[in-house]
Amino acid sequence: MPAAEKGAPVNELLEGLATTRTIRRYTDDPVEEHDLVQILWHATRAPSGSNRQHVRYIVLRDSEPALQARAALGRAARAAWQHKEAADGYGAGSGTVADSPKSRMAATMQHYVEHFHEAPVIVVVCLLRYREANPYEGASVYPAVQNLLLAARGLGFGGAVTMWHSLVEQELRELLQIPAEAALSACVTLGRPAGRHGPVRRRPLSEVVFDGQWGEAAEWALDPPGTQFTGWK
């Protein structure tokens, strides 16, 4: 392979890392099986401790148990957002200003939770435990979740990671016959973005990278020109 071609995919990969946003609004387009299988195949390429590969994916489409699980998740999403909206003061401060980032975020979230159960695909990601629950077990699941999002992105889809399944976990376990030894790690909605991907906003490198010891500024760690940062918390 010529050197130029060898380098190109890496740049596309980095571009994908920098621009894969959380997508919470979807068109009505389905995620066809030939795309779904690619997304899942790439998710399963993620690393895991000792390569144990204990991640399991329950794909919710339109079977009867899936529809019931979707309904339960939709209820959980609405309850969780209702709580967060009040607790985090989305209706106060700049949240009252039309078109402010905060009020736009609130509108996006409201739309998301109202339509959560209708997401083209929902994937419940589980970890099949082989030892006692421990603080590090997520390390073997979340790389796969990120791979799943990036693979979806690569195929023109988008998704959102959510933790709202925890509110209806017992119901999901019964509906989907999830064994006791499987932990429910994430619930990911997927679909064709109604909006678009684009540069994600994060804290500046100068705030989050230390040189050699905690708190020591890393003078060389500069964001590339044009980087956009999170504006509010």
Ligand X SMILES: Cc1cc2nc3c(=O)[nH]c(=O)nc-3n(C[C@H](O)[C@H](O)[C@H](O)COP(=O)(O)O)c2cc1C
Q: Is 4 helix (H, G, I), strand (E, B) or coil?
A: helix
Give Cβ neighbours of residue 66 (< 8 Å, ≥ 6 apart): 59, 60, 122
Give the per-residue contact string, 90-109, with ligand X (x = CB under 6 A; - = no): --------------------
Among 8, 97, 139, 163, binds ligand X (CB under 6 A): 163
Cβ 34 to ligand X shortest distance, Å: 26
Cβ 1 to ligand X shortest distance, Å: 33
| Interaction between residue 150 and ligand X (CB under 6 A) | no
Among 117, 119, 120, 162, binds ligand X (CB under 6 A): 162
C-alpha distance from residue 145 to each of 5, 102, 148 (Å): 28, 27, 5
Nearer to ligand X, 30 or 143 (CB): 143
| Interaction between residue 208 and ligand X (CB under 6 A) | no
Cβ 26 to ligand X shortest distance, Å: 13
Q: Which stretch binds ligand X (CB under 6 A): 38-46, 51-59, 90-98, 154-162?
A: 154-162
Among 164, 178, 185, 188, binds ligand X (CB under 6 A): 164
H/E stretch holding 191: strand 182-191
Q: Is 100 helix (H, G, I), strand (E, B) or coil?
A: coil
| Interaction between residue 161 and ligand X (CB under 6 A) | yes
Cβ 198 to ligand X shortest distance, Å: 9
What is the rounded distance in angstroms from the CA atom of residue 217 to the CA atom of residue 233? 23
Residues 110 and 173 sit within 8 Å (Cβ to Cβ) = no
What is the rounded distance in angstroms from the CA atom of residue 192 to the CA atom of residue 165? 22
DSSP 8-class letter at 202: B
- Residues binding ligand X (CB under 6 A): 21-22, 160-164, 200
